[in-house]
Homo-oligomer: A and B are copies of this chain.
Amino acid sequence: MLSAMNTTSELTITLPDWLNERLTAPIQIQGDEARMRFVIELARENIVHRTGGPFAAAVFRSGNGMLMSAGVNSVTRLNNAMLHAEVVALMFAQARVGSYTLRTADASYDLVTSCEPCAMCLGAILWSGVRRLVCGATRDDAERVGFDEGPVFPESYAYLERRGITVVRQVLRAEAADVLDHYLRGGGVVYNG
């Protein structure tokens, strides 16, 4: 929709078709490694389908492992620099629970991401209300491929922890980093490099 001044008056954020197809049946996964394996597979598929950067993330209900949402990097597909995998997953999870916070009385949620978050996503995680953050590849792995992670410092993680977010890092790191290398070898676009 275009108004008289040629501005867009609404934005629509979609998932790629292949991901919507993956999500047609309920998914329940217990354990950080199994959840990470699922997320790494989505990152790999995002490369294969050429629907964005080599990153994926998902929100799980902490106790029973129900998948609440999944996101893949959609920067190039949707021409939107903010649509990193974590932001996409968190937005869809909040839409599903119908609240601007996942910190609810009756459930808690984990964000599982194939790579340690950039500065923007780390902030988004803080505001999202998730209780746990589980990361695969490291900042160094991402930067080796050419992706900038921005101003994230040890104090940034300490800030999350002080706000009650448990951080678990380097879960299946080698497998997660391999996806990044695969993207580089395939000549994938490194935006914001």
Contacts and interface: CB of A to CB of B under 8 A. Distances in A.
B150 A192 contact: no
Interface residues of A, number: 62
Contacts of A151: 122-123, 126, 153, 155-156, 159-160
B80 A95 contact: yes
A96 B20 contact: no
Indicate how many identical chains form the complex: 2
Contacts of A25: 4-5
A92 interface: yes
Given A7-B23, A79-B100, A100-B76, A123 B150 contact: yes
Interface string A85-113: 00100111011101111000000000000
Given A122-B151, A127-B192, A150-B126, A98 B81 contact: no
Interface stretch (A10-18, A43-51, A168-176): A10-18
Nearest to A157: B151
B96 A6 contact: yes
A29 interface: no
7 contacts: A4-B25, A5-B24, A9-B15, A79-B94, A82-B124, A119-B156, A153-B153
Given A3-B24, A7-B96, A11-B95, 7 more contacts: A8-B92, A81-B90, A81-B101, A82-B124, A122-B151, A126-B150, A126-B151
